[in-house]
Amino acid sequence: MLAGLKVLEVSCLHSMLAGQILADLGADVITIEPPQGGPGRREGPFLDDRLDSGASLTWHALNRNKRGITLDVDTPDGQDIFMKLAASADVVIEPAPARFAGRLPSRALHCVLRPFSKAGPKSRYAFTDQILVASTGAPTYTGDADRRPVLIPVPQAMMETGAEAALGILGALAARDQGQGGQRIDVSARVAAMMSAFALPYIATANDKPPVRGVGRAPVVGVDIPSVYECRDGFVLLSITFGAFAGMTQRLVQWLASCGKVPEALLDVDWVNYPVDVQEGRASTASLLSIIEGLTGLARTLTKQQIGEAAQKQRFFAAPLMDMADVASFDQYEARSLWVETGLPDGRTVKAPARFAQFSNFRISQRLPAPSLSEHTREVLADLGFAKQEMQALYHHSII
Amino acid sequence: MTAPLKNLRVLDLGWVMVGPMSGRYLADLGADVIKVESSQRIDPLRTLGPFKDGRPGPERSLAYHFINAGKRSITLDISSKSGQQVVRALARECDIVIESFTPGVMERLGLGYETLKADNPGLIMVSTCILGQTGPAAGTSGVGTLGAAYAGVSFLIGWPDRPPTGPYSAWTDSVAPRFVVASVLAALHRRTQTGEGCYIDVSQSEAGVQFLLPAYFDYAANGHVPQRAGNAPAPLRAPSGVYRCAGEDRWVAIDASRAEHWRALAEEIGSPARDPKYATLVSRLRHREEVDAVVEAWTSTLTDHEVERTLQSMGVPAHVLCHVEDLDVDPDLASDVYLQPIEDPVVGSVRIRGATFHIEPSAPERARPAPRIGDSTDAILQEVAGMSPQDISALREAGALQ
């Protein structure tokens, strides 16, 4: 797809997924780290409790299909080498404050990743991933009503920003393909992460009521409809929906009735208009409470897999709450060839969920595992014409 | 300079979020995006809030405006033969087709990729659904809450001593469009060079797994199954987490794990934070609950905005956990021109976000309203499908345009 596209990624936490998406789609990506290693190498979890530059599993997860070099881009030699690489590069990705603004070839697509806005009051804010996530609004409305807000225990702003940067770069590439020349792309991590807040930013301007943490939108007056149920080996999601999705509830009731968990009379309930019917006294909440009771009882007798298969077969809204062991063994992912084999620094091989899309005439593959520290420095500098002794001098001065 | 995709046309057969949000990205980049709707069976997104002034109505949903901004709408009954012929006629003139039906629906309607490709060999078509077009569970219907469960994120969110709570809203609905659009734009780049079209299949749950890769690798490499961590998801940092502030349900996120950040915070708090036993990272990790209690005893006397201002002025990472009213007036979002005004005949003057990235000199479009149902039906049939007013009248009489 992107064969021939040359990308230089000045590695930071927010750049890694951007570079990997482009690399998976075929681009030649060189990730550039400082001589002591990029920040991604200090991100847990770590391999077998190792404490070295190859131990970070976050690094392994997000740097597939890239070549890696070390370079101190704040030294004159580092800048010179970077500019030599940039002379033939199509894309440069770097964190703010941008070192290379205005210095790149006119055809370059220059992407700068910022935590907040470019020049607003928070542009110089100190940040971590969870600070950025907090700023989106999503955590305020996530969790149980009687406890404090909760966060996803995997850094999400770095994922959101990386993905959004890939889109900005590919959009800019389309402009260049149309003859519009080089482009500057500016991505705010906070804005990228606000995708996870869905419509929260529009509730105030709409003059509508905000949600309440731990409480559903309560479409049926007086009933707190659970969505997560305990089953024999974990938890499952079972959704009772109305209106446009009422057909799903109808089929859910059919499943419950076929298992003897609700009376057949519930098959005749109009689930499309049920919330309004309850509100206006044409229906009672007894039918809904009967479904919830039936689901609670039935779920406890079944496994995650059994409920997932029933939902797939009978087409109602339910899914196992899979943990990472379930993800790794899910036959659907296996059958679709989601996985590619990838090597770890300890010599073992694991499967990585690399194929985020399946194409009729392209296949995401693993050409390279995530690079070890400075793995391709010699190769890349040799291509630029540096002599062996010059490279040794650069190493001696901690520039590479 | 014009927007990057100014000369491109997209047929958006998606519904609810992933397909339509993918279409919105392309509309932001300048493409002419034609949203196909049915007036008889409206996009369920029109039934979801927030609604203008809290009053539901198919043209009052801000969620719909957010996800379908800048598109044109045509009403079609694609279950009818003549409706299907219109889709084929439109797809013939489009560069990209997006659909998000349950697998097999497009083929049953005679609108599968092979059919559309025969009419338009350079077509890029993307199908997206919960578990993908192939495999034993391919027929699964669902929305982003199910995708989140299958991706593994729902299990990870909540408290260790309680059942999972799951993420805010339909999580994979916000993740998957990125992988749809990245795939489409890459295919477009290749088509520019080779003329070759493409069919793309994006499973929304597989896209979700991409945002959880560190957790997945922890299991794959170490055999460790990651668990829920409540409000403190950074086990190697202390203090780091969410702290209560003055007021009803007000919270601030703070990370003062680095030595200089802790020194500044401890100085601000005073005793007992200055106790030497909290001076090192390891001691703070070992006394994590004590340190959190010390920090919260201080934050709970201040408003969340006071804590954020105080700590950020000292260079310590902190931010309020925004409520919807904070997002509406946030000066930094304003500086980024995040929320932009739109005018709509039904909802009036409101604000929705613009593009999620800046590109210069080629610029994405500014925020625009979403279409009203079928607002461009005749114009699209004339301009794109080349139909005469008589053809359109015949279709309307046959019931195909509803």
Residue that wins the pLDDT comparison between A346 and A9: A9
Cβ–Cβ of A128/B209 closer than 8 Å?
no
Residue of A nearest to B349 (CA): A205
Cβ–Cβ of A139/B321 closer than 8 Å?
yes
> Of all residues in chain B, what percent carry a pLDDT higher than 70?
100
If you ran DSSP here, which 8-state letter would residue A98 be given?
A: P
Nearest Cβ partner for A237 among B49, B149, B362: B149
> Of all residues in chain B, what percent carry a pLDDT higher than 90?
95
Residue of B nearest to A355 (CA): B206
Supply the pLDDT for residue A243. Answer: 84
Report yes or no: A373 at the B interface, CB cutoff 8 Å. no
Q: Which architecture, in CATH terms, is A6-197+336-396? A: 3-Layer(aba) Sandwich (3.40)
Cβ–Cβ of A323/B360 closer than 8 Å?
no
CA dist A265 and A283 (Å) reads: 13
Cβ–Cβ of A134/B319 closer than 8 Å?
yes
Strand blocks (E) in B105-190: 124-129
Residue B345 reports pLDDT greater than 90:
yes
Nearest Cβ partner for A331 among B5, B136, B162: B136
What is the H or E stretch that residue A378 is in? helix A377-383
Residue that wins the pLDDT comparison between A160 and A222: A160
**Chain A residues near residue B229 by CB distance under 8 angstroms:** 151, 153
Single out the residue of B72, B81, B75 nearest to residue B40, CA to CA.
B75
Supply the pLDDT for residue B141. Answer: 84
Report yes or no: A302 at the B interface, CB cutoff 8 Å. no
Q: Work out the average pLDDT over B267-271.
A: 95
Q: Work out the average pLDDT over B43-70.
A: 94
CA dist A195 and B208 (Å) reads: 13
**Chain A residues near residue B159 by CB distance under 8 angstroms:** 143-144, 147, 150
Quick check: A212 and A279 in contact, CB under 8 A?
no
CA dist B305 and B297 (Å) reads: 16
What is the H or E stretch that residue B213 is in? helix B213-222
CA dist A261 and A50 (Å) reads: 51
If you ran DSSP here, which 8-state letter would residue A176 be given?
A: I
Supply the pLDDT for residue A221. Answer: 80
**Chain B residues near residue A347 by CB distance under 8 angstroms:** none
Cβ–Cβ of A138/B181 closer than 8 Å?
no
Cβ–Cβ of A61/B53 closer than 8 Å?
no
Strand blocks (E) in B144-225: 198-203
Report yes or no: A349 at the B interface, CB cutoff 8 Å. no
Cβ–Cβ of A239/B134 closer than 8 Å?
no
Single out the residue of B375, B153, B17 nearest to residue A154, CA to CA.
B153
Cβ–Cβ of B255/A166 closer than 8 Å?
no
**Chain B residues near residue A199 by CB distance under 8 angstroms:** 48-50, 62-63, 66
**Phi and psi angles of residue B337, each rounded to the nearest 5 degrees, phi first:** 55, 40
Cβ–Cβ of A180/B361 closer than 8 Å?
yes
pLDDT-based confidence at residue B327 (cuts at 50, 70, 90): very high
**Chain B residues near residue A323 by CB distance under 8 angstroms:** 152, 155-156, 219, 225-226
**Chain B residues near residue A209 by CB distance under 8 angstroms:** 54
* Other C-beta atoms lying within 10 Å of the C-beta of residue B385: 20
pLDDT-based confidence at residue A315 (cuts at 50, 70, 90): confident
Chain A stretch 223-252, residues whose beta carbon is closer than 8 A to a beta carbon of chain B: 227-228, 230, 234-237, 239, 243-245, 248
Residue B70 reports pLDDT greater than 70:
yes
CA dist B206 and A336 (Å) reads: 10
**Preferred mutation among A1, A215, A233 to probe B, highest tally of B CBs within 10 A:** A1
Residue that wins the pLDDT comparison between A245 and B178: B178
- Show me where the domains of chain A are located: 6-197+336-396, 228-326
**Chain B residues near residue A312 by CB distance under 8 angstroms:** 137, 139-140
Provide the angle, in degrees to the nearest 10, between the axes of the packed helices B259-269 and B288-299: 50
Cβ–Cβ of A359/B183 closer than 8 Å?
yes
Collapse the DSSP code of B206 into the 3-class scheme (helix H, G, I; strand E, B; otherwise coil) and give the result: helix
Residue A261 reports pLDDT greater than 70:
yes
Report yes or no: A361 at the B interface, CB cutoff 8 Å. yes
Supply the pLDDT for residue A224. Answer: 85
Residue A313 reports pLDDT greater than 90:
no
CA dist B249 and A140 (Å) reads: 9
DSSP states along B90-102: HHHT-SEEEE-SS
**Chain A residues near residue B142 by CB distance under 8 angstroms:** 317, 319
In B41-79, which positions are buried (b, 16+ CB within 10 angstroms) versus exposed (e)? ebbbbbbbbbbbeeeeebbbbbbbbbbbbbbbbbbbbbe
Distance from CA of B276 to the nearest CA of A (A): 25
Residue of A nearest to B211 (CA): A159
Distance from CA of A354 to the nearest CA of B (A): 8
pLDDT-based confidence at residue A217 (cuts at 50, 70, 90): low
pLDDT-based confidence at residue B184 (cuts at 50, 70, 90): very high
Q: pLDDT of A138-164, one tens digit each?
A: 999 999 999 999 999 999 999 999 999
Supply the pLDDT for residue A218. Answer: 60
What domains sit in chain B, N to C, each tagged with a CATH number? Answer: 9-211+334-397 (3.40.50.10540), 240-244+250-322 (3.30.1540.10)
CA dist A160 and A165 (Å) reads: 9
**Chain A residues near residue B356 by CB distance under 8 angstroms:** 164, 167-168, 187, 191-192, 194-195
Distance of CA A83 to the CA centre of its chain: 31
What is the H or E stretch that residue A85 is in? helix A76-86
> Of all residues in chain A, what percent carry a pLDDT higher than 90?
87
Q: pLDDT of B209-260, one tens digit each?
A: 999 999 999 999 999 999 999 887 789 999 999 999 999 999 999 999 999 9
Cβ–Cβ of A324/B173 closer than 8 Å?
no
Quick check: A72 and A399 in contact, CB under 8 A?
yes
- Surface-to-core class of residue A363, CB atoms within 10 Å of its CB (0-12 exposed, 13-18 middle, 19+ buried): exposed
CA dist B43 and B16 (Å) reads: 6
**Phi and psi angles of residue B35, each rounded to the nearest 5 degrees, phi first:** -95, 120
Collapse the DSSP code of B257 into the 3-class scheme (helix H, G, I; strand E, B; otherwise coil) and give the result: coil
Supply the pLDDT for residue A220. Answer: 81
**Preferred mutation among A16, A202, A251 to probe B, highest tally of B CBs within 10 A:** A202
Report yes or no: A136 at the B interface, CB cutoff 8 Å. yes
**Chain B residues near residue A168 by CB distance under 8 angstroms:** 356-359
Report yes or no: A364 at the B interface, CB cutoff 8 Å. no
Nearest Cβ partner for A210 among B159, B166, B323: B323
Single out the residue of B6, B188, B172, B170 nearest to residue B98, CA to CA.
B188
ipTM of this predicted structure: 0.97
Report yes or no: A156 at the B interface, CB cutoff 8 Å. yes
Cβ–Cβ of B321/A134 closer than 8 Å?
yes
Distance of CA A216 to the CA centre of its chain: 25
Nearest Cβ partner for B255 among A2, A130, A192: A130
Size of interface A-B (CB pairs under 8 A): 532
Quick check: B232 and B240 in contact, CB under 8 A?
yes
Nearest Cβ partner for B163 among A167, A197, A228: A228
Cβ–Cβ of B134/A336 closer than 8 Å?
yes
Report yes or no: A365 at the B interface, CB cutoff 8 Å. no
Cβ–Cβ of A357/B255 closer than 8 Å?
no
What is the H or E stretch that residue B342 is in? strand B339-344
